[in-house]
């Protein structure tokens, strides 16, 4: 009888150790699921903002691009106006030179000097004609560039107005959820601090690769709560036994059973 009692005690000893190991694994799973729970709530808030942050960013980039283009067009317009002004001043100088040469022609002593001055007058007249042509081209360019500047200003004003409206809309949504989000992020950070580094790295790696941000999921109706692939009955028993951390064979997510879910959701 004593022998039987001794044997029972010896058998009970390893079972106690196994229970502690299972409790340790369960605690790790609860810590991971708690972290996932808070992160999912943060994701939900950020999802409620929809595409607004991206729309705001796109509009900000577009406004910056339009402003740069508008400034460049304004510089080009100024250069075109300066070029026309320079040609007009050149024509004034050329006409003054022609008058000077014509006055000198009346005082020359021989035909050679007269012809030389005539060539200078002819050259200045050709330069005036070329300058007038450039002025005509410049004025056309100024007209086109002025229209482009005005169109650019209009488009910039419209996009800036759209940006201000979108930013206001985003700010209102952020203001509504900011306090709740900060509290959840704080809880997430606190939960993460309780997860061992090796598991935390794995969690973030899986979460980063998952489109829905789920790294830890519950078994639901015999299937993975992340990819919805069926889980064999024996593997479901292994998950529930908490002997080790088990991942989905299909998507790689960490799997937990109802007892872990209930523990976490009951002690948030």
pLDDT (tens digit per residue) in 144-195: 999 999 999 999 999 999 999 999 988 888 888 888 999 999 999 999 999 9
- Determine the pLDDT at residue 8: 38
pLDDT of residue 15: 43
pLDDT band at 13 (very low <50, low <70, confident <90, very high): very low
Asked if the model's pLDDT at residue 14 lies above 60, the reply is no
Tokens of 141: 């360019």
Confidence bin at 4 (pLDDT 50/70/90): very low
Region 95-107 average pLDDT? 91
Per-residue pLDDT at 266: 85
- Nearest alpha-carbon partner for 134 in 174, 93, 95, 87: 87
State the chain's mean pLDDT as an integer: 89
Enumerate domains of the chain plus CATH numbers. 1-48+196-268 (no CATH), 51-180 (1.10.287)
The reported pLDDT for the residue numbered 108 is 85
Alpha-carbon distance of 130 to 242, in angstroms, equals 92
Cβ atoms < 10 Å from Cβ of 256: 26
- Would you say residue 6 has pLDDT above 70? no
Residues 182-232 have pLDDT tens digits of: 999 999 999 999 999 999 999 999 999 998 999 999 999 999 999 999 999
Answer whether residue 16 shows pLDDT above 50: no
Contacts of 41 (CB under 8 A, 6+ apart): 184
266 class by beta-carbon count within 10 Å (0-12 exposed, 13-18 middle, 19+ buried):
exposed
Q: Which of 252, 264, 266 is nearest to 36 (CA)?
A: 264
- Under the banding of pLDDT at 50, 70 and 90, the label for residue 9 is very low
pLDDT average, residue stretch 241-262 = 95
Predicted pLDDT of residue 1: 41
More confident residue, 5 or 247: 247
Question: Which of 227 and 16 is assigned the larger pLDDT?
Answer: 227
Average pLDDT over residues 130-135: 94
* Close Cβ partners of 48 (under 8 Å, ≥ 6 residues apart): 173, 177
* pLDDT score, position 267: 58
Q: What is the pLDDT of residues 46-56, one digit of tens each?
A: 887 778 888 99
| Token pair 């002593």 in the structure block, residue | 109
- pLDDT given for residue 18 in this prediction: 43
């Amino acid at each position: 009888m004593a022998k039987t009692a001794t044997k029972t005690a010896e058998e009970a000893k390893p079972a106690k150790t196994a229970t502690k190991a299972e409790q340790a694994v369960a605690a790790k799973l609860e810590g991971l699921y708690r972290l996932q729970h808070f992160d999912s709530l943060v994701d939900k808030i950020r999802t409620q903002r929809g595409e607004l942050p991206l729309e705001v960013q796109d509009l900000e980039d577009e406004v910056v691009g339009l402003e740069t283009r508008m400034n460049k067009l304004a510089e080009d317009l100024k250069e075109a106006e300066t070029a026309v002004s320079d040609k007009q001043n050149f024509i004034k100088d050329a006409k003054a030179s022609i008058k000077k040469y014509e006055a000198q022609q009346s005082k020359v002593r021989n035909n050679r000097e007269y012809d030389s001055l005539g060539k200078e007058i002819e050259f200045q007249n050709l330069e005036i004609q070329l300058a007038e042509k450039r002025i005509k081209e410049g004025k056309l360019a100024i007209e086109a560039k002025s229209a482009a500047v005005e169109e650019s200003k209009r488009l910039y004003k419209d996009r800036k107005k759209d940006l201000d409206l979108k930013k206001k809309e985003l700010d209102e949504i952020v203001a509504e959820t900011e306090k709740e989000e900060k509290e959840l992020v704080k809880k997430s950070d606190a939960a993460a601090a309780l997860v061992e580094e090796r598991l935390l790295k794995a969690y973030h790696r899986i979460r980063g690769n998952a489109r829905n941000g789920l790294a830890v999921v519950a078994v639901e109706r015999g299937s993975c709560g992340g990819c919805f692939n069926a889980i064999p009955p024996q593997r479901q028993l292994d998950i529930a036994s908490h002997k080790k951390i088990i991942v989905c064979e299909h998507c790689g997510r960490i799997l937990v059973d109802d007892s872990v879910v209930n523990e976490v959701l009951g002690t948030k």
